[in-house]
Each structure stands twice: as structure tokens, then as C-alpha cells.
Amino acid sequence: MKIVVCLKRVPDTTAKIKPAADGRTVDPQGVEFIISPYDEIALEKAVQLKEAGTATQVTVLCLGPANATKELRKAMAIGADDAVLLTEDRDFRDPAATAEVLAAALTELAPDVVFCGWKAIDNDSATVAGMIAARLDFAYASFVVGIEGVEGQNALRVRREVEGTEEQVLVPAPCVLTAQRGLAEPRFASLKGIMKAKRKPLETKAPADAENASDLVALQPPPPRAAGRILGEGAAGVPELVRVLRDDLGVL
């Protein structure tokens, strides 16, 4: 079974995001970039499947800037066998164009399973994996929190998180799965892994042609939060608190 994990390079979760001078992209100055955390969970699971003998090959695929090689080397240090970077020179790709470009690359890679995080934590669109499945005509299961095993001819029994419970679904390969927290706990790359990753193949190439269906117009930070109000201290503040909750906010 061949797995391709789609990874996105995103600003660190704790990075302070500032719009660049163009008013529509992120100013990269002082921002550290990481593999999007849900993608990293998908990668960890794929590597575990390879270690368990279920998968034969794990390839990582990324649409991103030329310096995303660092994130792909990290993925190979964690255990992916090889990597493909579709070098991006545009400053924005909408989800539809992203899915089109990734689907074109996936057609060449011919995987049995495509693994993605359920969303990338920068743009939060959570739509790319579904559109990849539609373009490739692959089966699709989202919010996967467990893989129980392979059944019959290449069908995966997966556990999905649904409101209040979990369901088990039999998904025939080829398929697209999206990873939710709980599927796997990402490991730290070891130094030996980092050394091995230097010798693993990393192919860079241009992405297929695809036009954005929508365009990014502006990136604006949310308005600053108004300062809080101190109604009083200790027990002396309670009457005023009750009055505000009842009369001003109407929640009592």
C-alpha cells in the first residue's frame, strides 16, 4: 500500500500574524514556519503504518515556496521515504486551485491512500482534501481518529469522529482520509532521522496550471478587544455584577 501525505507549510501556531505591506499576505519577518499540525498527525500515522508493515511507501507532497524544503526534510526525518515539492511562486492559491494542482501531482504518484490534515491551520478552509477526492474519484473519509486495519482487497476500516460518538467506516482504496487530533501523537525528529533524510530523494517541480476560482482581496487583523471593566473587588463587587448581568446584558 502506497501512501501520499499532503503537507502544508504554515506559520507557527504562536506566531504573531501581521499583514505585509501589500495588505493581503502575511509578513514573514520574524515568523517561524511549521508543518500544519493536523498534517503532521497524518504523517505520523502514515509512518506508523509503514513501521507496522501495512504501508510499503510513504511519500510527502507539498505545494509551497522553495524554502518549504525544510518542512519536507523534517517529514523525511520523521520517516517518509521521499518528497515532492511543487514550488509555488504565487502569493495566493484558493482551495479549488490547490486541490486541482495537488490532484494532478497525485495522478502521477498513483497512491492507494492520500492522507491530509482535516484542515490547514492558516487559511482554515478545510475543503482541499474533499475536492482532491472528487477530482480523483477516490473514496473519502474525513475526521479519521483511528485506523483499525485492512480488510479484503485493500479496504481500510477507519474510525471517524462524529458528534458525540464515533463511527467505523469501511473505505475502499484508493481513498482520501483526513486526520483529526487523536489519530496519532507526532514524534520528534531524531538526529539520525535528520541525517538519513539528507540522502532521501526530494524532487522539486512546477505545479500544474490551475486558475483560482476566488481571489484574496485583503488580510486584516481583527479589531483590538475593548478593555474590560472592573465592577468592584471581592464581595463588594457582587451587587453591581448582578445588576449588570440582569439589567445591562439581560442574561439573568
Partner 1 sequence: MAYESPDFYGVDELLTEDELLVRDSVRGWVEERIVPDVAEHFKAGVFPLELAREAGELGLLGASLEGYGCAGMGDVVYGLICQELERGDSGIRSFCSVQGSLVMYPIHAFGSEEQKQKWLPQLAAGTAIGCFGLTEPDFGSDPGGMITTAKPTDDGWVMNGAKMWITNGTLADVAVVWAKTPDGIRGFLVEKGTPGYTTNDIDGKWSLRASVTSELVFDDCHLPKDAILPKSVGLKNALMCLNSARFGIAWGAIGAAQACYDEALTHAKTRIIYGKPIGRFQMIQHKLVEMLTEITKAQLLALRLGRLKESGKLHHTQVSMAKRNNVAMALECARTTRDILGASGITDEYVCGRHMANLESVITYEGTHDIHMLIVGMEITGLNALGNE
Is 227 near partner 1 (CB under 8 A)? no
Grid cell for residue 115? 492522507
Instruction: Specify the residue for cell string 483560482.
Output: 212
Q: Which stretch, 83-91, 170-178, 182-190, 239-247, contacts partner 1 (CB under 8 A)?
A: 182-190
The conformation of residue 244, written as its DSSP 8-state character, comes to I
Is 153 near partner 1 (CB under 8 A)? no
Other C-beta atoms lying within 10 Å of the C-beta of residue 88: 19
Instruction: Specify the residue for cell string 476500516.
Output: 157
Is 66 near partner 1 (CB under 8 A)? no
Among 1, 5, 34, 175, binds partner 1 (CB under 8 A): 34
- 166: helix, coil or strand? strand
Asked if residue 180 lies in contact with residue 216, where contact means CB atoms within 8 angstroms, the answer is no
Asked if residue 2 lies in contact with residue 59, where contact means CB atoms within 8 angstroms, the answer is yes
Distance CA 135, CA 33 (A): 29
Among 21, 108, 192, 221, binds partner 1 (CB under 8 A): 192
Min dist. Cβ of residue 195 to partner 1 (A): 6
Among 126, 155, 189, 219, binds partner 1 (CB under 8 A): 189
Among 56, 107, 168, 190, binds partner 1 (CB under 8 A): 190
Is 77 near partner 1 (CB under 8 A)? yes
The pairing of strands 82-87 and 202-205 is: parallel
Query: Between residues 74 and 160, which has the closer beta carbon with respect to partner 1?
Result: 74
Among 8, 9, 50, 74, binds partner 1 (CB under 8 A): 74
The conformation of residue 26, written as its DSSP 8-state character, comes to B
Min dist. Cβ of residue 32 to partner 1 (A): 6
Residues 81 to 120: which contact partner 1 by CB under 8 A? Answer: none
**Partners of 160 in the beta sheet?**
144, 167
Is 14 near partner 1 (CB under 8 A)? yes
The conformation of residue 30, written as its DSSP 8-state character, comes to T
Asked if residue 102 lies in contact with residue 210, where contact means CB atoms within 8 angstroms, the answer is no
Is 225 near partner 1 (CB under 8 A)? no
Catalog residues that contact partner 1 under the rule CB under 8 A: 12-15, 30, 32, 34, 69-70, 73-74, 77, 188-192, 194-195, 198
